[in-house]
Chains A and B, each alone.
Chain A
Amino acid sequence: MTLRDTVGLALRNLGQAKLRTSLTTLGVAIGIASLAGMVSLGVGLQDQFVGRFTKSGMFDAITVLAGGDLPGPLAGGGRGRGGPAPFGQRGTARGAAAPGNARDVNAAALAELAALPGVRTVYPNVRGPVEAKFRGASEFAQAVGIPMDMRGEGAFQSIPYGRFFTSDTEDACMLSLDYAKRMDAEHPGSLIGQTLTLNYPMARRGDAGAPSGGIPIPGAGGLSVQRAELQCPIVGIVERETGPFAAGGAGAAGLMLPLGKAKAMYEGSPQAAAAFLRDPSRTSVTYPSAVVRVTKASSTQDVEEQIKKLGFQAFSLNDALQGAKRAFIILDIVLSLIGSIALAVSSLGIVNTMVMSILERTREIGIMKAIGGSDGDIRRIFLIEASAIGGFGGVSGVVLGWLVGRVINFGANVYIQQQGGTPGNLFSLPFWLVGGAIGFSIAVSLVAGSYPAARAAKLNPIEALRHD
């Protein structure tokens, strides 16, 4: 018997019992709709989460620190702290970040990091203490440099008041909403366009005690600290502080300057100047750390390894993202299990329908065997009937699940908008899910149909022919 004939006969049999076939198919459709809907919800939530957080710059950012001895908690833990080895040899056994290969984060290093494959952009972390004066009050703050390509990302995804910087060297600043509220609790938006006066320390080469009025730095011959001033219009206010990783900084900061501006300030700072003095072999300014942004969050781990091989210390929140992904896999599994309950019930419906059908058609099965139908022919007819129910049920279930998802999504977004949130697609139905759901439906139906089909195939033809 050819496959085509078997399929034709199976479909014909299903057509003979239209009501029963369509009810069973509807049962499968509901099962698949609930399963596909649940998985679709899991995928949608994951897309929302991963999408937003990837955009936040948390997971595609690697913080790079100088290799070797660096004070501070990030350089601790013995890594890169080889210390002098016995017999005056330099310790090298500690890997790439050992003191022997210590690397500074300077202009050359930034260029080298930018050239690594998979790296989108590299910028130094620049921050420094400033005194901000406004309407006679003054406050000390950390000013942090923001690169231009943070526009539209992370904390800058939405700017409630004002705008992002227009150029890298603009005399302009942005504030966090908290900071702005400290300046004007009632109408933070009214600060846009107002001018903040920033005072910051600047190193100046010259004779100690010169009439410039600078404060000499002890032990740093010829250097003195002066007070510099910058008139800085407030151009924008962002809702969130730029978190430890969002802007690539080492802590939250309420006051943001364009990176170019901040770099110029940093290069003139006593901190940077002092570093030159400590090590005259340095040829350029060194930064405490830099941020490497990768093109794909998935390559973060690889790039991080490469950076470590270059002799830097590097770390990222990639592990946290992996953890979040694992959490979503568990969520997906839980959702699919809930969705599977309906499918399990409907697969019992298939078994029931097929068993009923065999009882009704016992005599017909006997006839088919008597005129030459083999056990295999009979089994295949019933398996194809079951899988056709699964196929039709799968297709209509995916459509049904999609429709229900759209309705729930619509309702949820109305609510989210009422609560002031950003609407999004809570349900996502990628192609793999459509194909997978239909395939799974057919597979489940085949499993459900296998017992009735085997029973039909094993019927004794003589007894079947005696059946009424």
Chain B
Amino acid sequence: MPAVLETADLRKHYQMGASLVRALDGVSIAVQPGEFVGLLGTSGSGKSTLLNLIAGLDRPTSGTLRIFDQDLAKMSSDELSVHRRRNVGIIFQSFNLVSTMSAAENVALAMMFAGVPRTERDGKASRLLETMGLGGRQKHRPKELSGGEQQRVAIARALSNDPHLLLADEPTGNLDSRTTRDIMSLLKDLNERDGKTIIMVTHDPGLAREYAHRTITMLDGAVVES
């Protein structure tokens, strides 16, 4: 089975004022199907930049970035949006739910962009929220939900278009330790039971070692331990 993700000499440089920032400076990694990878590093190590490139939210400066055998570096802006809605589901530290929409509407929004008909996406959003234990919270706005509940809505949204790859950027960074364990075991379930490949960015080595199969540690834009 081919790798879900494979990068070769991936670089992301950008200009900040007068200085050139080498956010990623020659990263070559591979992630196999069904893996749960923890991406470790301090703030500014480039781990979030790498995740954004994998998510298709940004473009590399050079190198190759293959996901399911497609080179993201060569994709147009429209192709990248297709990649984001089909191949990956993204979970953020700050949840990033649309504040004016209910939990169910937030989940359905992702399917709306994928062109799923209304009745189908409403039904699926409802089922996903139920499996997340939010059956009674469907009509609630994000601000009426706790942090853990919001993150579960975001996970339901990430799963709505059935991607193989889940990308989580500090998914428990805004949560207390009890909720952190809830969310982490939910992700572990998705990995073990549903076979989702997960790449999770975190600055907490303990959390990564406890839940991930393996960790990749980054420093100053390069992989130092894999």
Contact = CB atoms under 8 A, between A and B. Distances in A.
Contacts of B90: 370-371
Contacts of A2: 115
B98 A367 contact: yes
B157 to A, nearest CB: 6
Contacts of A374: 77-78, 81-82, 113
A371 B98 CA distance: 11
B218 to A, nearest CB: 18
Interface residues on A, range: 20 to 34
Interface in B75-94: 77-78, 81-82, 84-86, 90, 92
Contacts of A364: 98-100
Interface string B152-187: 000001000100000000000000000000000000
A417 to B, nearest CB: 57
For the complex, would chain B's binding face be called helix, strand, loop or mixed by DSSP majority? helix
B58 A369 contact: no
Interface residues on B, range: 20 to 34
B96 A465 contact: yes
A5 B81 CA distance: 17
Nearest to A374: B81
Nearest to B83: A372
A369 B81 contact: yes
A370 B84 contact: yes
Contacts of A370: 55, 57, 84, 90, 92, 96
B114 interface: yes
A461 B112 contact: no
A418 interface: no
B96 A16 contact: no
B112 A5 contact: yes
A375 B112 contact: no
A461 B81 CA distance: 11
A373 interface: yes
B93 to A, nearest CB: 10
A457 B86 CA distance: 20
A367 B105 CA distance: 13
A375 B109 contact: no
B97 interface: yes
Interface string A339-377: 000000000000000000000000110111111111111
Interface of A: 1-2, 5, 9, 16, 363-364, 366-377, 460-462, 465
Interface of B: 52, 55, 57-58, 77-78, 81-82, 84-86, 90, 92, 96-100, 109-110, 112-115, 118, 157, 161
Given A371-B84, A374-B81, A377-B113, 12 more contacts: A1-B115, A5-B112, A16-B100, A364-B98, A368-B109, A371-B110, A372-B81, A372-B86, A372-B161, A375-B81, A462-B57, A462-B58
16 contacts: A5-B112, A5-B118, A16-B100, A367-B96, A368-B109, A371-B109, A371-B113, A372-B86, A374-B113, A375-B78, A377-B81, A377-B113, A460-B58, A462-B57, A462-B58, A465-B96
